[in-house]
Amino acid sequence: MRTILLADDNITVQRVIALTFAGDKTIQVVTVADGHQAMEKMAALRPDIVLAGTTLPQISGYDLAKFMRGKAELQGVPVLLLAGAFETVDEARLGSCGANGVLEKPVEPTLVINRVKELLGLKSDETPATAGRLITPAAPPAEKKIPAAPPPHYDERLYNAAAGSILDVLGQASPGIKSLLLVGHNPGLHDLSTLLIASGDLGDRERLHEKLPAGGLVVIDFPIEDWSKLHPRSGRLERFVVPRTLAAATD
C-alpha cells in the first residue's frame, strides 16, 4: 500500500483529501497539521508522496520540501505543495525547494488523484477533470494565473422558488456549461440539495439533511453531459461546507 503524508492545517482540506482516496484500497492518507509534525511522521513512516500546504505553521511547505531534498532517504519522495486560490506562489522558493509542483486549493479530487498517481507511477482510472484548478509545475516555474470569473446571471424565477421550480430552471442550462454556481434562498436550496443527492459522505449528508445554513456551500457532482437530464437523486455530494467549519479551520 502506498502512503500519502498530508501536511495541512485546514480541516476542510484534510477531509477532502481523505475522502478523495477513501475508496482506493492501494493508497492510505496520513494527516498532520504542521511542519514539525510532518518531520516527526517522516522519521517513523517513510511516505511515498507528500502533500504540504505552502503556509504550514512552524515550517512552511517550501521549507519542508527543501528539508526532504537534503535527506538521502527522502530525496526521491515526490512533494506537491497546496496553495490557496488567491495566494501568491513564491516562484523563487518554489524553484529552489525541489517540490514537484503546486495544486490550487480548494483541490479538485480528480486532479489530485491523477497527479498523485502520475508521480507514483500508477495508472489512474479517473477521467481528466475540467479546467479550473490550476497545477503549477515546479521546474521551470510557471506564472500562476487565476481564471477570470464568468459574468453572473440573475434569473427572477429563482427568487424564493420551490425545489421543483429551481430544478426546471437548471434543466434549461446550456449543455456547454460544465459547472454551475447557484446562489439563492432557503427553503428552496435546502430542499433542492436533499432532492438531488443520492450518494456521498454519510455524515455530510445527514448534516445537510438537518440544515443548510446561510452561507453554506453544497458541491454536487452529476454524471450527465446535458442539464436537461438532471433529475432527483442523480447526484453525489462532493463537499458540504458551512461558515462555522471555516471559522474553526482558521482558529
Model confidence over 79-90: pLDDT tens digits? 999 998 778 888
Query: Do 114 and 182 lie in a common domain?
Result: no
**Per-residue pLDDT tens for 176-194?**
888 889 998 899 999 999 9
Q: 27-32 and 2-7 as β-strands: parallel, antiparallel, unpaired?
A: parallel
Query: Do 213 and 97 lie in a common domain?
Result: no
Range of the domain at 17: 2-137
Query: Do 60 and 132 lie in a common domain?
Result: yes
Query: Do 17 and 71 lie in a common domain?
Result: yes
Query: Do 46 and 92 lie in a common domain?
Result: yes
The total number of structural domains in the chain stands at: 2
Query: Do 112 and 173 lie in a common domain?
Result: no
Nearest to 77 by CA among 109, 54, 99, 53: 99
Query: Do 208 and 246 lie in a common domain?
Result: yes
Q: At what angle do helices 11-20 and 109-120 cross, to 10 degrees?
A: 70
Residue 54 — very low, low, confident or very high, per pLDDT cuts 50/70/90?
very high
Query: Do 18 and 126 lie in a common domain?
Result: yes
Query: Do 188 and 127 lie in a common domain?
Result: no
Q: pTM for this one?
A: 0.53
Instruction: Tell me which of 102, 137, 172 is where a domain ends.
Output: 137
Query: Do 80 and 178 lie in a common domain?
Result: no
Helix (H) or strand (E) holding 239: strand 235-241
Instruction: Tell me which of 82, 106, 137 is where a domain ends.
Output: 137
Instruction: Tell me which of 73, 108, 137 is where a domain ends.
Output: 137
Higher pLDDT, 82 or 130: 82
Contact 207, 221 (CB under 8 A): no
**Per-residue pLDDT tens for 229-240?**
999 999 999 989
Residue 103 lies in a domain: yes
Q: How many other β-carbons are positioned within 10 Å of the β-carbon of residue 123? A: 7
Residue 17 lies in a domain: yes
